[in-house]
Structure 1
Amino acid sequence: MDTSNLETYSVVALSTSHICKGALRYLTRLANDSECNMVMARDTGFFIKLYTDGDNVKTDMPDSLKEVVVFCESRGFLMIELDGDAMQIDDLPTYEWSDSCLELAEKQLTVTLYDGSDDYKGSVQATVVANPGGITIDFDGYADALNGSPLLVELYNDELSVVVWSDSDDEDPTHTISLEGVNSGAQRSLR
């Protein structure tokens, strides 16, 4: 077989420690977006395909990921493999995954919700998990199509939203509710 006409490009493997947890959340969102075919999630990281025209840095992209993309673009790489087992390089900063970019630790709270109706006496256990990527609420016996939390509260593009997966057969959220209509206008801090 003549391979001289095949399109080829270079791939670089970099440690996931070169991105912060905010970038991890950003890449996970893209990998789960059915309209995005440039990011693929793996158990140990991501594959990121870069455009040849150089239009790879997005305004909403976390800074740590921008640095990785610019580094790879400037060296002619058209695919990035971010992997937990790949080596760290001195040319890029590293981030401690035990600390998030926002220096917040994950917090968890478990509560039992009781039916408020006089006619019913049911209950369900709920677990609230808060971390820099958002707040999830898991309910015993309820899960989305990917066996994840059916409810997420997140700050994305400076907009506070509630994201709901109410159909366990659908990987995509069924509802995204912006909370900006109830924003009192007070200054928000990401610290």
Structure 2
Amino acid sequence: MTVSNENHGADADERDLTHVDEEGNAQMVDVGSKPDTQRRAVARGTIHLTESTIDAIRGDQIGKGDVLATARIGAIQAVKHTWETIPMCHQIPVTNVETAFDVEDDRVTLSVTVETTGKTGCEMEALEGVTTGLNVVWDMVKAAEKDADGQYPDTRISDVRVVTKEKSQA
């Protein structure tokens, strides 16, 4: 297994792995001595859908209810619970979550902005918000997206990424 090391000048035996103890066991990083800073992260992703499904979303004609309102709630809940699903994430004080949907003819793009004041970043929370929000969209529209064989040939989630990550003194 190859391990990337921020200390590029160190020999292989001198690696400073942040999430592994001396015995090679996974561990959470101690951030207790770090100063609190204001942090903000924005993540974005897209779900590709058929035009008829997009029309049904716009017309509030999806049988399960308001797709974007439900996805917004799912995204916010995911942000708040990221520390429970990603093993080495710290529980952080989320101070703000914003969601924005861009609905085009064949896709919905979701952007999630997360803000915190704390000792560690919030980009994982933003990513969790995007992926869960898009999964909620899929769940809400899956009956409309299925083909005759029960498959999803036109449905896919793509381009999930951190758009920005910012840090400033609190």
Tell me the TM-score normalized by structure 2.
0.25
With a CA cutoff of 8 Å and minimum separation of 6, indicate the structure with the bigger relative contact order: 2
- The answer to which structure has the higher helix fraction is 2
